Amino acid sequence: MQASEAEKPRIVILISGTGSNMVAIADAVKEETIDAEIVGIISNRPTAEGLNKAQAMGLHTDLIDHTLYASRDEFDHALIRMIEDLKPDLVVLAGFMRILTADFTRYYEGRLLNIHPSLLPKYQGLNTHQRALDASDDIHGVTVHFVTEELDGGPNAIQAIVPILDVDNAQLLQQRVHEQEHIIYPIAVKWFCEGRLSMKGNNALLDGNPLPDSGVQLDSRDQ
C-alpha cells in the first residue's frame, strides 16, 4: 500500500540556476517513480530560471538572497532555518552554487546529496569538462555523492561514465554529461527515499552494503 502524502519522504531542493536537475527529480516524483513529496524549492539567486520552472510545476518556492547576508555563516544559519520550516527528510543540491559551511554540512550529514560533473574524486571544483579534455582523458562523467565538510569529497552513491570523443569541446562534453545527470540524480533520490541508500561514517551504503569508492557505476556507452 502506498504511503499517504503525510508519510512520504519530504524533499527540499536547493538551486541557483536553470534547475534542470530539479525538474528531472520533480518529473520523477510526479510520475511516481520516486515515492516522495517535494515540499520546497529554495534559490539563493532572485533571477534563477529554476524558480519560474518550479512555480510552473506547482511547487512551493522560497528565495534567500546570499548577497543580503554579512557572512557565509550568517547566510547558512538563515538557510537552515528556512529549510527546517519545511521539515525535510532529504536536502538535494541541484546546481546550488554556494560553498556550504561545516556547520551546515554537519547539520544535514547523511541526508544531503549533491551532483558534481566529474568522476569523483577526479576534478573536484570548477571547469571539470575542460580539465578532462586538457588531461586527454578517454572518459569523463558525473557523480551523485553525499555531502561532507570536504568540498566534493563525500562518499559517492552513483556515477555515470561518459566517453570523450575526438570531436569534443567543453560545451559538447557538458551537454552529454547533463543528459546523464538527469538520469542518475533521480535514481539516487529514489534509492534514498526507499531507504536503500544511506551513509555510515565515510561510506555510502546500498541495501546495507558498502559501495565501492566510485559508487554504483552506469556506463552511458552501454545505453
Considering 66, 77, 116, 129, which one is annotated as catalytic?
Answer: 116
Looking up cell 586527454, which residue turns up? 136
Sequence-distant contacts of 161-169: CB under 8 A, at least 24 apart: 161/119, 161/217, 161/218, 161/219, 161/220, 161/221, 162/220, 163/138, 163/139, 163/220, 163/221, 164/132, 164/133, 164/137, 164/138, 164/139, 164/140, 168/133, 169/133
The one-letter amino acid code at 135 reads A
Q: If DSSP codes are grouped into helix, strand and coil, which group holds residue 219?
A: strand
User: What does DSSP assign to residue 212?
Assistant: P
Q: Cell digits for 171?
A: 560545451
**DSSP state, 148?**
-
Q: What is the pLDDT along the chain (223 residues), one digit of tens a residue?
A: 344 455 899 999 999 999 999 999 999 999 999 999 999 999 999 999 999 999 999 999 999 999 999 999 999 999 999 999 999 999 999 999 999 999 999 999 999 999 999 999 999 999 999 999 999 999 999 999 999 999 888 999 999 999 999 999 999 999 999 999 999 999 999 999 999 999 999 999 999 999 999 999 999 888 7
**Cα distances (angstroms) measured from residue 53 to each of 41, 186, 213:** 10, 17, 34
* Residues paired with residue 67 on neighbouring β-strands, in sequence order: none
**AA identity, residue 73:** D
- Beginning with the edge strand found earlier in the chain, give each strand of the sheet holding 197-200 in spatial order: 197-200, 203-206, 209-210
Domains for the chain: give ranges and CATH numbers.
8-222 (3.40.50.170)
- Distance (Å, whole) CA 19 – CA 169: 23
pTM for the model stands at 0.95
Give the H/E segment covering residue 42.
Answer: strand 37-43
Nearest 5°: phi and psi at 116? -135, 135
- Residue 116 annotated to the active site: yes
